[in-house]
Structure 1
């Protein structure tokens, strides 16, 4: 299944894509794509619904983040061997974890606002893992039982705030609009191998990132297990798993986002995102 949320920000409705790619309304069945809806039992109930029985949503409504009421977004740093090399950094001996504030999460095609004082706003296309079953001290052998599905996350980052301003990375990761998520969540049963997905990102039509989840240092199974040793994971939490090479910081010379640009990114089988960069007060 491909599950999504549509409508004005803060008032999104639950939806499902049918086999022809038409948006169908799920409002008569669930209140949102969140929480218990993402558990194995919740997804099983949705899978029993005939999409043809659902109302077609006409027009082209705004698409929101594919999961609502996200409790936390846990991000993984330097998790692609080729990206670590690009950054001139060693592969970490354990996953590097940081958080992105949930207030940064937005729709996949919403505008990205360049923060005040920013000179180094950057892009990172990433595979997002959506948790569907509570996870605490999970063994790797059982980790995939806790995955509801996958989505695209653009881990937008302000590198000066992240690296040059002292403290934790979260300062450069959490500006409003710095977490485009979606367009939809593809349930785990439709992703044969999350470690074999092509991924890409373009700015103004120039392809900067062209990689694959195959070069992850720590894969989906390991990340779910590892993170669950330090905190419980709840249905609707998202793990953003790191980015392949081609970020702006890694260009020679570095290239950063400015107002009036267009970003497009995608992951095989998970759809595409398109954003426009605007001034903070636009």
Structure 2
């Protein structure tokens, strides 16, 4: 199933189930509040009630879709996890790591699937990165590669928006350059794991003003999503709602200098998971 957060113009945030071109309000389902994250540990028990719910229906084009997970404890992203992208990053002056390379995106960067991306006044190196977002469904530690899929709640589209000069020049870590406000649009909804036959066989496609910039399958990851979860849980406990951005393919703007400008429209789509679309706007 596909779970979304939305409001229909009255300012009240609701959780809904996507049903074709409509969203079904789940407010009447006991145990469902206004947070998708809070549902995740109880999803197996709530599944039947959610699928059977027949609350108010709203056409998708009449509501505002919000970030499906707006309150994760952690938002972690892996760098240079596609071979061709690692090479283009090297050409941009970033050394290729010899093991999994993780960094934080501060959760305050999260934005909705159709919210604007703000271009900061302090940089002209605003870049895009389509990524498969993985959402953890249960508290877990020391997870094996073989068991890793069992802790995944679902997936969505992410754009790991990056301010390149703050990655390489203004901070010794990636965190600041990856964490500007609005630089973490996600969505359009959470597609639960049971609906995805193979998350390592999905096509990702990103366009800027209709021009294809990135077009790659998820099976080209250097470290697949199960290896990523096993690696991270050697170090930390992952919690329900934690977001993992699992790497971007080649085609980013940095090697060619084709950075985002005010007015650009960035569309990121992953097969079976939907699309997010964000316009770049000026700060202030």
Q: Is the Cα–Cα contact under 8 Å of residues 106 and 179 in structure 1 kept in the other structure? A: yes
The counterpart of 1:228, out of the listed 225, 233, 254, is 233
The counterpart of 1:242, out of the listed 228, 235, 247, is 247
Normalising by the residue count of structure 2, what TM-score does the alignment of the two structures yield?
0.92
User: Aligned to 2:43, what secondary structure does the other structure show?
Assistant: helix
- Structure 1 position 51, deviation (Å): 4.7
- Structure 1 position 61, deviation (Å): 1.5
Q: State the aligned residue count.
A: 277
Q: Is the Cα–Cα contact under 8 Å of residues 3 and 36 in structure 2 kept in the other structure? A: no
Aligned to 1:61: 63
Q: Is the Cα–Cα contact under 8 Å of residues 70 and 237 in structure 1 kept in the other structure? A: yes
User: Aligned to 1:230, what secondary structure does the other structure show?
Assistant: coil
Q: Is the Cα–Cα contact under 8 Å of residues 151 and 185 in structure 1 kept in the other structure? A: yes
Alignment of 1:211-226 (within 5 A): 211-226=216-231
Q: Is the Cα–Cα contact under 8 Å of residues 129 and 239 in structure 1 kept in the other structure? A: yes
- Structure 1 position 55, deviation (Å): 1.4
Aligned to 2:267: 264
The counterpart of 2:258, out of the listed 241, 244, 255, is 255
Aligned to 2:2: 2
Alignment of 1:112-191 (within 5 A): 112-191=117-196
Aligned to 2:103: 98
- Structure 1 position 42, deviation (Å): 2.0
When structure 1 is superposed on structure 2, of 6-15 and 112-121 the one drifting more is 6-15
Aligned to 1:31: 33
Q: Is the Cα–Cα contact under 8 Å of residues 262 and 281 in structure 2 kept in the other structure? A: yes
Normalising by the residue count of structure 1, what TM-score does the alignment of the two structures yield?
0.93
Aligned to 1:86: 88
State the alpha-carbon separation in 2 of the partners of residues 44 and 215 from structure 1: 35
Aligned to 1:15: 16
- Structure 1 position 92, deviation (Å): 2.9
- Structure 1 position 141, deviation (Å): 1.5
Aligned to 1:203: 208
When structure 1 is superposed on structure 2, of 63-72 and 173-182 the one drifting more is 63-72
User: Aligned to 1:259, what secondary structure does the other structure show?
Assistant: coil
Unaligned runs of 5+ in 2: none
State the alpha-carbon separation in 2 of the partners of residues 176 and 9 from structure 1: 25
Over residues 120-145 of structure 1, what are the superposed CA-to-partner deviations in whole Å (9 max), with x where a residue is unaligned? 00000000100001111111111111
Unaligned runs of 5+ in 1: none
Over 3 Å counting, the alpha-carbon distance change for 1:50 and 1:148 in structure 2 is closer
Q: Is the Cα–Cα contact under 8 Å of residues 249 and 255 in structure 1 kept in the other structure? A: yes
Aligned to 2:78: 76
- Structure 1 position 114, deviation (Å): 0.6
- Structure 1 position 52, deviation (Å): 6.0
Aligned to 1:276: 279
User: Aligned to 1:86, what secondary structure does the other structure show?
Assistant: helix
